[in-house]
Amino acid sequence: MLEYKDTIIRITTQDLTTDQPATKEYPGKEAVGTGIGYWIGEEEPPERTFYALTHLPTGYRMFTDFIFSEQAVQLIIEKIAPLIDWNRPLEQLIADPGYKGVIAKVSQITADVIWDHAESIGFVGADGRIWSV
């Protein structure tokens, strides 16, 4: 089981007015020693907490969708942390011969965990309504 500590997650985004990279800070948690963490946000509407899986050295999100369960995001981290050394900068990760296979595994693991937790979190449809499965 990994240890998690409260931290400020610095994410890399794009400033839409200047088209330049920008950094934002959010409260989050770091899986100690893994290079992976997640930041915590609020969605409006409907108002609910979400978690964004993040590669800490770059500040980039590791999965495009938000995850609506802290238990789920921690389970994803537990499963993907051993796949590769996430503490490296993006250039080194991309140069790793196993990187593409790892990214495919991360996507599959994340989708599987989200689906397994879908009943407790529901899905938001295009119309904004929450659908449970």
For the chain, the average pLDDT equals 84
Average pLDDT over residues 118-122: 52
| Residue 121: pLDDT over 60 | no
Using the predicted structure, report yes or no on whether residue 78 has a pLDDT greater than 70. yes
Q: What is the rounded CA–CA span in Å between residue 78 and residue 36? A: 10
> Is residue 96 one of the residues assigned to a domain?
yes
Per residue in 47-73, pLDDT (tens digit) is 778 888 999 999 888 877 778 889 999
- Report the domain count for the chain: 1
Peptide bond before residue 46 is cis, with ω within 30 degrees of 0: yes
Tell me which residue range forms the domain holding 72.
4-125
Please tell me the pTM assigned to this model: 0.80
pLDDT (tens digit, 9 = 90+) per residue, 30-52? 999 999 999 988 766 667 788 88
- Residue 132 included in any domain: no
130 lies in some domain: no
Q: Is residue 16 domain-resident?
A: yes
In a domain, 50, yes or no: yes
CA distance 96 to 51: 27
**Within-domain flag for 30:** yes
